[in-house]
A and B are shown apart, each in its own frame.
Chain A
Amino acid sequence: MTKVFKAKHAQGEVVEGVCLTAKDGFSARYDLDRIKGVFVRPSHKLLGEAYHNKILVLDTAKGGVASAWMIYEMKMRNLCPSAIIFNTVNPILAQGAAHGGIAMLSGFDCDITAAIPSGSRLRIDPKNHTVEIL
Chain B
Amino acid sequence: MKLNQEEQAMRAGEFGPVRQIAMEHQIKVGEFFGAEDLVPVSQAHIMADTESLGEAGVAWLEMLAKNSSKDRVVRIPTITDPRGTDFNKAKQLGQTDTMISLERRAIAAFVKMGVSMTDTCINYQTIMAPVFGEHVAFGDTGVVIYSNSICGARSNFEGGPSALSAGLTGRTPRYGYHLDAHRQPTHRFRVSWTPSSLNEWGALGGVIGRQSGNYWSVPIVEGIEGHPGSDSLKHFGAAMASFGSSALFHLLGITPEAIHARDLKFEHLPVVNISKADVMALQSSYRVSDEIDVVVFSAPQLSLLEMKSVAELCAGKAFKKPLLAVTSPQVKPDSDRMGYTALIEDAGGTVFAGMCFYQSYAREIAEANGWKKLATNSAKMVNILGGYGYTPILASMEDCVRAAETGSLA
Residues of A within 8 A of B (CB): 9-11, 25, 27, 29-33, 40-43, 60-70, 72-73, 75-77, 88-92, 94-96, 98-99, 104
CA distance A19 to B57 in the complex (A): 27
Q: Do A41 and B386 touch (CB < 8 A)?
A: yes
Q: Do B161 and A68 touch (CB < 8 A)?
A: yes
Which one of B160, B215, B386 contacts A42 once the chains associate, using CB atoms below 8 Å?
B386
Q: Do A91 and B215 touch (CB < 8 A)?
A: yes
Q: Do A69 and B215 touch (CB < 8 A)?
A: no
CA distance A76 to B363 in the complex (A): 21
Q: State whether A60 and B48 are in contact (beta carbons under 8 Å apart), knowing that A90-B245, A92-B159 are contacts in the complex.
A: no
Q: Do B214 and A95 touch (CB < 8 A)?
A: no
Within 8 A of A (CB), among B356-376: 358-359, 363
Q: State whether A70 and B25 are in contact (beta carbons under 8 Å apart), knowing that A29-B384, A63-B384, A65-B158 are contacts in the complex.
A: no
Question: Counting CB contacts under 8 A, is B47 at the interface?
Answer: yes
**What is the total number of residues of chain B having a CB less than 8 Å from a CB of chain A?**
47
Residues of A within 8 A of B405 (CB): none
Q: State whether A11 and B32 are in contact (beta carbons under 8 Å apart), knowing that A29-B384, A73-B54 are contacts in the complex.
A: yes
Residues of B within 8 A of A65 (CB): 47, 81, 139-141, 157-160
Which one of A10, A40, A67 contacts B387 once the chains associate, using CB atoms below 8 Å?
A40
Residues of B within 8 A of A (CB): 25, 28-29, 31-34, 47-49, 51-57, 60, 81, 139-141, 156-162, 176, 213-216, 241-242, 244-245, 247, 358-359, 363, 383-384, 386-387, 389
Q: Do B28 and A11 touch (CB < 8 A)?
A: yes
17 contacts between A and B (CB under 8 A): A60-B245, A64-B140, A64-B384, A66-B47, A66-B49, A70-B54, A72-B161, A90-B157, A91-B215, A92-B159, A94-B29, A94-B33, A95-B29, A95-B159, A95-B161, A98-B25, A98-B32
CA distance A68 to B166 in the complex (A): 14
Residues of B within 8 A of A68 (CB): 159-162
Q: Do B52 and A70 touch (CB < 8 A)?
A: yes
Q: Do B33 and A9 touch (CB < 8 A)?
A: yes
The smallest beta-carbon distance between A12 and chain B, in angstroms, is: 9
Nearest residue (CB) in B for A44 is B387
Residues of B within 8 A of A60 (CB): 213-215, 245
The smallest beta-carbon distance between A56 and chain B, in angstroms, is: 16
CA distance A119 to B242 in the complex (A): 29
Residues of A within 8 A of B53 (CB): 69, 73
Which 10 A-B pairs give the minimum distances between C-beta atoms? A68-B159, A76-B56, A90-B215, A73-B54, A66-B52, A98-B28, A69-B52, A99-B161, A41-B387, A95-B159
Nearest residue (CB) in A for B215 is A90
Additional pairs, 8, CB under 8 Å, beyond known A90-B245, A91-B159: A29-B384, A32-B387, A61-B214, A64-B242, A70-B52, A76-B56, A91-B215, A92-B159
Q: State whether A30 and B383 are in contact (beta carbons under 8 Å apart), knowing that A73-B56, A91-B156 are contacts in the complex.
A: yes
Q: State whether A94 and B213 are in contact (beta carbons under 8 Å apart), knowing that A63-B384, A67-B159 are contacts in the complex.
A: no
The smallest beta-carbon distance between A103 and chain B, in angstroms, is: 11
**Which of A25, A66, A73, A96 lies at the interface centre, i.e. has the most chain B CB atoms within 10 A of its CB?**
A66
Nearest residue (CB) in B for A75 is B56
CA distance A17 to B53 in the complex (A): 27
Q: Do A73 and B25 touch (CB < 8 A)?
A: no
CA distance A92 to B140 in the complex (A): 10
CA distance A10 to B358 in the complex (A): 31
Residues of B within 8 A of A64 (CB): 47, 140-141, 241-242, 384
CA distance A31 to B384 in the complex (A): 9
Q: Do A69 and B161 touch (CB < 8 A)?
A: yes
Residues of B within 8 A of A41 (CB): 386-387
The smallest beta-carbon distance between B393 and chain A, in angstroms, is: 14
Q: Do A69 and B57 touch (CB < 8 A)?
A: yes
Nearest residue (CB) in A for B362 is A29
Residues of A within 8 A of B157 (CB): 65, 90-92
The smallest beta-carbon distance between A86 and chain B, in angstroms, is: 9
Q: Do A88 and B156 touch (CB < 8 A)?
A: no
Q: Do A91 and B162 touch (CB < 8 A)?
A: yes
CA distance A68 to B41 in the complex (A): 20
Residues of A within 8 A of B160 (CB): 65, 68-69
Residues of A within 8 A of B33 (CB): 9, 91, 94
Q: Do B141 and A9 touch (CB < 8 A)?
A: no
Which one of B31, B156, B162, B387 contacts A30 once the chains associate, using CB atoms below 8 Å?
B387
Residues of A within 8 A of B244 (CB): 62
Residues of A within 8 A of B387 (CB): 27, 29-32, 40-41
Q: Do B29 and A73 touch (CB < 8 A)?
A: no
Residues of B within 8 A of A66 (CB): 47, 49, 51-52, 159, 359
Nearest residue (CB) in A for B391 is A42
CA distance A75 to B54 in the complex (A): 11
Residues of A within 8 A of B25 (CB): 95, 98-99
Q: Do B162 and A62 touch (CB < 8 A)?
A: no
Nearest residue (CB) in A for B389 is A40
Q: State whether A73 and B28 are in contact (beta carbons under 8 Å apart), knowing that A65-B141, A67-B159 are contacts in the complex.
A: no
